[in-house]
Amino acid sequence: MDKKRILIANRGEIAIRIMNACDELDLDYVVVYTAQDSASLHVKKAIEEKGPEAVYRISNYKDPNEIFSVADHCGADAIHPGYGFFSENFRFARRAALRNRPLTFIGPRWEVIRDLGSKINTKRIAKQLGIPVIPGSDEPLYSEIEAEVLAEKLFFQQKEQGVDKPSILVKASAGGGGMGIEEVNHLDTFRQIYRRIQNYAKRQFGDEGVLIEQCMRDYHHLEVQLLCSQHEEIVHFSTRNCTIQSTGRQKRIEVAPGFDPKTIDYPFDAAKVLDLMVDYSIQLAKEVKYDNVGTWEWIVTRDGKPYLLEVNTRIQVENEISARISRISKHDAPVNLIREQIRSAFGEKLGFKQKHISFAGTSIELRIVAEDVKRGFAPWCGKITTFSFPEKPWVRLYSHVPQDEPYEIPTEYDPNLALAIIWGMNTEQAKERAREFISKTVIRGEDSRGKPIITNLEYLKDRLDDVLKF
């Protein structure tokens, strides 16, 4: 690969992980940041490694003109969008590809993002292929009356099926990452919640379209990690379980693989369900000629039925737990899915096949967040004064929070502080190590009124008992 320059159009820990992948591939990079992020480690690291000319202050991570203008000024060949922001914006990817000075968008080609970026369209394609999806609307709803008719139908269907406490979910159609979703337990409260989500969607995404679907109560949230190339190669890196989430459906603990039938009893054939999900995911990837990393999100109900939720056409926060349990027999270096993603975007062949990938152990990701879990996971704002973690060979930590100076959490973004990726030879060992990691982690700080920092560390510790169990 030629020495190419990548513009990293993201912030925080993902920017740092992309820098690491660039280093592994001997690629040059530049980073962007906003005034609020000037103390972030991603900025500090870029200055230390590449010099002050490798960092650009922009007005907003979500302004495409800022990104393209910096890309041209620094002579970038490609843009890595990370996750969030532009990562699933097909218009941005299309603009990168079709502008006078084309740039490689590190992700799938824009047509794929367009087709799978919409949950509704994904549902439609999946249905055509006979892949199971959750009952509900297959287009955004703008009419309250239409929405209420569908809601009534979904409640009726659940009663017919003998569902104990029927409910539906109202989602912002343009939303993602668990934001803009509320549950309706009774038809009487539907209109109120529908209007709230509609207003939220309009404010946050500029599109008041709303989706409605049956709420599956007793289920696990699973993912299939795929890596595809522009040469129609498809491999999977097993599955993940992301069931432990905040009340706002934000993931907090993720585990790979998605189930552990060797040590945990399931009310269904878990190994068979995992295989089925992988097969369905590959079937859909082939159909749309998927050509980069992607995550197929599923829910699995207690009766062992998988339903496809959506496809995330980007690298996921939790990608590394899949990498940690994987080995590629032809490679010496540990698996790095961001590295593979970049290679794939530049048109390289994978250089390995499914038979070369093996899996070992269990990996757990802990998302350490400044939030008050007792108050509905309310975000905490303030200054961090102490931030230290144990160094162990079985843990990798990614954070944009400096450990050598106080750090004010920016209020513009989620108060995510760090990701800890822990590996164990089996699930029990991984859980034990995660507990040890949490107990030796020290985070101190205070808010503007002098009250001490609140984090989710205790919550994470408590929830470790539940991982992978139905």
Partner 1 sequence: MDINLNDLLRQFKSHPYEDHHIDAPHTGVVSFKVKEGQEVKGPSGQWLHKPGTLLYILEREKNPKRITSSFSGTVANLRTQLEGTFVHAGERLLTVQHKLNRDEIIDRILRKVLFIFRAPQRARYFFTPEAISFLEKDTDKGLSVAPGDEIIIMSLMKRDTFLPYEGPPGIIYKVYFQQGDLVEQEAPLFGLCPPGKLPFVQKVIQRIRTEWDD
Nearer to partner 1, 57 or 231 (CB): 57
CB of 330 to partner 1, least distance (A): 42
Residue type, 260: D
Spatial contact of 168 and 154, defined as CB atoms under 8 Å apart: yes
Spatial contact of 241 and 468, defined as CB atoms under 8 Å apart: yes
Nearer to partner 1, 19 or 70 (CB): 70
Residue 28: half-sphere exposure toward Cβ, Cα within 13 Å: 14
Dist. CA 40–CA 44, nearest whole Å: 7
**How many helices (H) and strands (E) are present in the chain, helices listed first?**
13, 23
CB of 280 to partner 1, least distance (A): 31
Q: Does 402 bind partner 1 (CB under 8 A)?
A: no
Which of 329, 358, 411, 439 is close enough to bind partner 1 by CB under 8 A?
Answer: 411
Q: Does 194 bind partner 1 (CB under 8 A)?
A: no
Kindly give the interhelix angle for 119-128 and 270-287, rounded to the nearest 10 degrees: 100
CB of 91 to partner 1, least distance (A): 14
Nearer to partner 1, 59 or 263 (CB): 59
How many residues bind partner 1 (CB under 8 A)? The answer is 30
Q: Which of 165, 151, 177 is nearest to 248 (CA)?
A: 177
Catalytic residue of the set 11, 252, 314, 343? 314
Q: Does 203 bind partner 1 (CB under 8 A)?
A: yes
Dist. CA 454–CA 457, nearest whole Å: 9
Write the interaction track for partner 1 spanning residues 423-452; mark x where CB under 8 A is met and - where it is not: -------------------------x----
Q: Does 199 bind partner 1 (CB under 8 A)?
A: yes
* Residue 139 phi, psi (nearest 5): -155, 155
Q: Does 414 bind partner 1 (CB under 8 A)?
A: yes
The tokens of 289 are what? 């000629």
Q: Does 354 bind partner 1 (CB under 8 A)?
A: no
Q: Which of 177, 178, 354, 176 is nearest to 278 (CA)?
A: 354
CB of 406 to partner 1, least distance (A): 17
Spatial contact of 354 and 228, defined as CB atoms under 8 Å apart: no
Q: 164: Cβ–Cβ under 8 A, 6 or more apart, which residues?
A: 217
Q: Does 53 bind partner 1 (CB under 8 A)?
A: no
Nearer to partner 1, 138 or 414 (CB): 414
- What is residue 166's three-state secondary structure? coil
Q: Does 247 bind partner 1 (CB under 8 A)?
A: no
Nearer to partner 1, 34 or 399 (CB): 34
Interface segment toward partner 1; rule CB under 8 A; list 20-28, 121-129, 336-344, 373-381: 373-381
Interface segment toward partner 1; rule CB under 8 A; list 151-159, 221-229, 351-359, 412-420: 412-420
Q: Does 413 bind partner 1 (CB under 8 A)?
A: yes
Spatial contact of 57 and 39, defined as CB atoms under 8 Å apart: no
Nearer to partner 1, 379 or 390 (CB): 379
Q: How much of the chain is helix, strand and coil, in % rounded to 5? A: 35, 25, 40
Nearer to partner 1, 55 or 126 (CB): 55
Q: Does 59 bind partner 1 (CB under 8 A)?
A: yes
Q: Does 61 bind partner 1 (CB under 8 A)?
A: no
Interface segment toward partner 1; rule CB under 8 A; list 115-123, 252-260, 269-277, 409-417: 409-417
Dist. CA 290–CA 272, nearest whole Å: 24
For residue 314, indicate whether it is catalytic: yes
For 210-305, strand residue ranges (E) read 210-214, 219-228, 234-245, 251-256, 293-301
User: How many residues comprise the chain?
Assistant: 470
Kindly give the interhelix angle for 64-74 and 90-98, rounded to the nearest 10 degrees: 30
Which of 29, 56, 237, 259 is close enough to bind partner 1 by CB under 8 A?
Answer: 56
The alpha carbon of 233 is separated from its chain's Cα centroid by a whole number of angstroms, namely 23
Q: Does 412 bind partner 1 (CB under 8 A)?
A: yes
Q: Does 390 bind partner 1 (CB under 8 A)?
A: no
Write the interaction track for partner 1 spanning residues 66-105; mark x where CB under 8 A is met and - where it is not: x-xxx-xx--------------------------------
The tokens of 450 are what? 């002098």
The tokens of 324 are what? 């940690």
DSSP strand pairing (293-301 vs 219-228):
antiparallel
User: Which residues are at the interface with partner 1 (CB under 8 A)?
Assistant: 34-35, 56-60, 63, 65-66, 68-70, 72-73, 179, 199-200, 203-204, 248, 378-379, 381, 411-415, 448
Where in the sequence numbering do the catalytic residues fall? 314
